[in-house]
Amino acid sequence: MYRILVVDNEPYVVDWIAFLIETKSRQEVDVCRAYTAKEALQWLAKTRIDVLVSDISMPGMDGLELAGIVKEQWPYAKVVLITAYAEFDYAVTAIRNNVVGYVLKNQGDDVIFAEIERAMKMVETQIEQEGRESHRDIHYVLPMLQSRLLQDILENDGDFDERKEEQLQSVGIFLKAGTSVRIMLCDIRSGDGASDVVENYYARQDIVEQVEKKLGDFYSIWPVLISGRRVVWLLHLQQPERFQMQENALIQGRIELLQDTVRPECSFVLYAKTVCLRDVKEIYTKLEKTISRMAPLSETFFIAEGTEVKDVRIDIGVISRRISYWLEENRKKLFLNAIAYYTEKVRENSLEQEECYNLYYTIAIQLNCYLEKLEIPETQDMLQLKRQLFYPPADGSWTEKFEGLSALVRGTVEAEERIKSGIIQNTVDELKKYIREHIQEDISLTRLSEVTGYNTNYLSRIFRLQTGKTLTEYIAWEKLDRISDLMKDPVRNITDIAEETGFRTRTYFNRFMKKWTGKSPKDYRNELLRQ
């Protein structure tokens, strides 16, 4: 979304240009209107501005001064100056203050809008260009190249020849085919889908940094980012004569510290022996299969040659922490998957009676604590749910109790979603009410954001999802409804009607009616009166 501030001391010019932008732009725009330089400064103090469209000659502060303030506060913002006469003496100052367009008011709608549109594209281009330049930074590129080369070694067949060694050395990895390394995998169970790509990215970066801090004093470390939720490390012991005898105990202790530091839903698998770099593919494949079978609430496993990982490991402290985290961070799918996993293990008789008891009531307690924090009304259904949670059928098997628990959890998640849906609907209702009650005012998305406390993008999204209309469309139709009611009174003057519905100028009102009805105000009124 682009936010455009239009400034002119003549109201009809502001309304004309604002309407021009809203009508012609194919981008999502939020147009803010200012009828004095003072009003413009108020807008700049409370919201981001992408494009400033301003007259040059205004009382109190001219457009170039205003452009300088915009540049200082919002460096990406571009400026289009509009004036009634050629003032080319301002050219040098204009260039310095991010002025990219200079048009005369008499040059027509198409020329003026073309300059504004060009300014929007320049904002977008500048941001993209700076992003590309940052990607070219060596601190970004080098780790990426290292990761790609190592991933190729892990996943692809082929001889580890001198050429491969030279490629590694060219990116700062001084390992040979016979070099002994350790392999460690981390599974980040943080996201439920594509919407969590960004969050998974930051989770991975945090884990990579923490591994470097915890292990970097005695290992050379090379991370390999395999996917959105998986990280692999190759670890090379720097001083084997000093650490080799106690290496396993040392690395196990450091990883335990690591798991207390990073996100609580991370699980690690570490191969308990060193392996030559040329042989890492086979071991990596084995660890990949292992980590995919691990229990959702497990911590760290050390896998040695010829050993198999246990599928189930009950640690009530770990389970309690992770369930609490998943619930608080809205990772409900991860929670449901974990319960389904342990329900299946109970069904297979993989857990002892005591383990079943501890696991069941740990889950129940954490779920109840979460319900209390939600402050869900104590309806009869909710009271019944809690009774079922803590008093499962005494004569039922543990399999039946866990199946009942799964059903209760799903019911709780659904209840919470209904509550959230109600909050969204209340917000939309609040927006509709405010628009109806202030229809005689100039209502911008920024103003609606101030009223509700939510950002403009969120408001636009939920309103469209709930109503099928954009906020701009809804405001326009509400204005039109009010206009229609007023026009049914043949005594009322059309200019008065325009003012009562938030239009400062008759020209702006005429343009609005033409856009939304296809008729002039007079023709629209005549049609209403004939009905």
- 261 pLDDT band (50/70/90 cuts)? low
Task: Count the neighbouring beta carbons within 10 Å of the beta carbon of residue 51.
Answer: 30
Of 24, 15, 21, 16, whose CA–CA distance to 3 is shortest? Answer: 21
- 2 pLDDT band (50/70/90 cuts)? confident
CATH for 438-530 is 1.10.10.60
- Is the predicted pLDDT of residue 250 greater than 80, yes or no? no
For residue 171, the SS3 value is coil
Which comes out higher in pLDDT, residue 488 or 138? 488
Distance of CA 194 to the CA centre of its chain: 11
| DSSP assignments along 365-423, one per residue | HHHHHHHHHHT----HHHHHHHHHHHS--TTS-HHHHHHHHHHHHHHHHHHHHHHHHHH
Q: What is the pLDDT of residue 129?
A: 66
Radius of gyration of the chain, Cα coordinates, nearest whole angstrom: 32
Distance of CA 52 to the CA centre of its chain: 27
Q: What is the pLDDT of residue 135?
A: 47
pLDDT, tens digit (0-9, with 9 covering 90-100), for 188-241? 765 444 444 555 566 677 788 888 888 888 888 888 876 667 788 888 888 777
pLDDT over 70 percentage in the chain: 79
Of 70, 50, 52, whose CA–CA distance to 126 is shortest? Answer: 50
Q: What is the pLDDT of residue 377?
A: 56
DSSP state of 47: S
How far apart are alpha carbons 428 and 145 in whole angstroms?
A: 48
How far apart are alpha carbons 285 and 197 in whole angstroms?
A: 24
pLDDT, tens digit (0-9, with 9 covering 90-100), for 422-438? 777 888 888 888 988 88
Lowest mean pLDDT among 112-126, 127-141, 355-369: 127-141
Q: What is the pLDDT of residue 190?
A: 52
Q: What is the pLDDT of residue 195?
A: 40
Average pLDDT over residues 8-13: 85
Average pLDDT over residues 268-294: 79
Average pLDDT over residues 11-32: 84
CATH for 2-135 is 3.40.50.2300
How far apart are alpha carbons 297 and 367 in whole angstroms?
A: 16
User: Scanning the structure block, which residue is given the tokens 């919201």?
Assistant: 47
Kindly report the average pLDDT of the chain as a whole number. Answer: 77
- HSE value, Cβ hemisphere, 13 Å, CA-based, for 346: 25
CA distances (Å), origin 440, targets 222, 367, 437: 63, 49, 8
- 372 pLDDT band (50/70/90 cuts)? confident
Could you give the angle at the alpha carbon of 436 between the alpha carbons of 42 and 501, nearest 5°? 70
Q: What is the pLDDT of residue 140?
A: 52
State which fold the 138-303 domain adopts: Alpha-Beta Plaits (3.30.70)
Of 380, 353, 355, 378, whose CA–CA distance to 368 is shortest? Answer: 378
Q: Where are the domains of the chain?
A: 2-135, 138-303, 316-419, 438-530
Long-range interactions of 137-142: CB distance < 8 A, separation 24+: 142/171, 142/172
- Is the predicted pLDDT of residue 305 greater than 70, yes or no? no
Distance of CA 436 to the CA centre of its chain: 31
Could you give the angle at the alpha carbon of 525 between the alpha carbons of 519 and 529, nearest 5°? 135
For residue 28, the SS3 value is coil
For residue 103, the SS3 value is strand
Q: Which residues face 275 on adjacent strands?
A: 181
Cβ atoms of residues 229 and 189 within 8 Å: yes
